[in-house]
Amino acid sequence: MNHFETKAGVLSAEDLSLEALADAHGTPLYVYSAATLRRHARLMQEALAAMPGLVCYAVKACSNLGVLSLLAKEGVGFDIVSGGELERVLAAGGRADRVVFSGVGKQQHEIERALREGIKLFNVESAPELELIAQVATSLGKRAPIAVRVNPEVDAKTHPYIATGLKESKFGLPIDDAVALYRRAAIMDGIEVAGVAFHIGSQITALEPFGQAIDRVLALVATLRGERMNIRIIDVGGGLGVPYAGETPPSPSEYGKLVREKLANAGAEVLLEPGRVLVANAGVLVTRVLYVKKTAYKTFVVVDAAMNDLMRPALYQAHHHIEPVRSRGGSEIVDVVGPVCESSDFFAKARALPVVEAGDLLCIRTAGAYGFSMASQYNTRPRAAEIIVSGDRAQLVRERESVESLWRGESRLDPSM
């Protein structure tokens, strides 16, 4: 459920019309609904119910400080994959002791900063990374709490670019190799073996892969405990899908029921790392129609947003529902395309849309996750503004970039060169 509904003929974010917001702030414009974000955070927390655990939002899905601060206030922790994301969490008022640090390429300075801030857990993805964490922790006189991220070898049946739990994957370690690394970790200075972590992929629309993965990881936990390792955390990653085009993913409560059935008696704190499910349909991208271009073959609706603003269709052939903010009725088969000079710059192909004219606003739905956070400035296009709506109030949480800011830090070549 989300809070983008048509009121008096105009699509609205909570109590504010997207038309008024676009007029006030320009387009392309990302609009997030605070009520939807809060609702999703609570649903995921309820999924854990009485089990000891923490929802650690995957910051990469949407890393705006406004969104992070709202979630921090809801008691949510964070899953980060870079030092930059750690700084964002701290700037948003998040607590380091609720942060888990994932990612295959953690750098020394990032590890050091995370240790100084006292993060909750490092999810280790390789033997050399473990060595570096041990070395940095020892030099700081600390012990780093770690989990090894393992690949439970289940097929998440999702887009190949976002499936991560297979042995060919660059992420984590094959589950059969993990025990050896745990044995090494258990005797290292500067390391506290604290947990086991996995993440099998993203936009997963069935429960079975999660169940299979948990079963495999529980077998590993039993082995490790048999060797007197204190596994006090099980991190089940993220990956729960959302409906973009009629998919029927499990609800957070169905997902929670499975997690509780499998892990309530595991004697460990359970971490969830949801990204998409918290923010995807809490955000939309509003864009204005620049031209309707008719050729003998096709009708193109050229809009002012482009692949640099929302990359998912270009990168994953992802489907996003599109609708006019104020419908004129009728129906036409169109391609919705942006101004960027790439054939992959489209939001929809051969899609039936109500008739639109230049100047109309379109709303691209379910754009809150991996939308702005993957935006670029390709074609020297300033990145969009971001707004959070709460009831009848709107806050600009990111200004639209200025064109001049796009070459800040660059310089003309010195004539003597």
List residues binding ligand LLP (CB under 6 A): 58, 61, 79, 102, 162, 199, 202-203, 237-240, 273-277, 312, 316, 370
DSSP 3-state of 223:
helix
Specify the pairing of strand 269-272 against strand 99-101: unpaired
Return d(Cα 30, Cα 185) in angstroms, integer.
44
Specify the residue for token string 């649903």. Answer: 43
Tell which residue, 198, 218, 217, 161, has the closest CA to residue 272: 198
CB of 202 to ligand LLP, least distance (A): 3
Return d(Cα 94, Cα 13) in angstroms, integer.
26
Cβ neighbourhood burial of 297 (10 Å; 0-12, 13-18, 19+): exposed
Return d(Cα 182, Cα 196) in angstroms, integer.
10
CB of 416 to ligand LLP, least distance (A): 44
- CB-CB contact of 106 with 129 (8 Å): yes
Cβ neighbourhood burial of 304 (10 Å; 0-12, 13-18, 19+): buried
Pull the structure tokens for residue 402. 């200025």
Specify the residue for token string 């204190």. Answer: 230
CB of 125 to ligand LLP, least distance (A): 9
CB of 102 to ligand LLP, least distance (A): 4
Return d(Cα 397, Cα 288) in angstroms, integer.
21
Residues designated catalytic: 341
Pull the structure tokens for residue 345. 């710059």
* Phi/psi at 309 (5° precision): -85, -40
CB of 1 to ligand LLP, least distance (A): 18
CB of 139 to ligand LLP, least distance (A): 27
Pick the closer one to ligand LLP by CB: 58 or 364: 58
- CB-CB contact of 304 with 297 (8 Å): no
* Beta-carbon contacts of residue 131 (< 8 Å; ≥ 6 apart): none
CB of 219 to ligand LLP, least distance (A): 21
Return d(Cα 78, Cα 86) in angstroms, integer.
9
Task: Measure the CA dihedral 404/408/413/417, to 10°.
Answer: 170
- Residue 33: strand pairing partners: 389
**How large is the greatest C-alpha to C-alpha distance in the chain, in angstroms?**
72
- CB-CB contact of 173 with 185 (8 Å): no
In 94-125, which positions are buried (b, 16+ CB within 10 angstroms) versus exposed (e)? bbbebbbbbbeebeeebbbbbbeeebbbbbbb
DSSP category for residue 308: T
CB of 408 to ligand LLP, least distance (A): 27
